[in-house]
Amino acid sequence: MINIKKIRKQFGGNVCRQCINKEYGIHLLHTDCQYGMMYPGKCPCCGDMKNIVTGIKLSGFFKSFGARKGKYTK
C-alpha cells in the first residue's frame, strides 16, 4: 500500500508518476493520480519536467494493494 505521505517521505517531496511506478513496481495511470498543477514541474527524483503527483485517487490506492501481490507489476 502506498500513499502520498509515504512517497513524500521517501523522495523528500512530490515526484512524477513514472518515478512512483518505478519505485513501487506498480502501474498507476494518469487518471489514478491527482495533480496539484496543470503544468509540468521539475521532478526532484528524475530531474525531468513532468506532471508532479500530489495525491493518489481511490483507483490508484486500490492498485497499490494489488501491487503488493504482484497483480499490477510487470
By CB under 5 A, how many residues form the interface with Zn ion?
6
Query: Which of these segments, 2-10, 16-24, 30-38, 63-71, binds Zn ion (CB under 5 A)?
Result: 16-24
* Binding flag, residue 43, Zn ion (CB under 5 A): yes
20 interacts with Zn ion by CB under 5 A: no
- SS3 of the chain: the string is CCCHHHHHHHHCCCCEHHHHHHHHCCCCCHHHEEECCCCCEECCCCCCEECEEEEECHHHHHHHHHHHHCCCCC
**What residues make contact with Zn ion under the rule CB under 5 A?**
15-16, 19, 43, 45-46
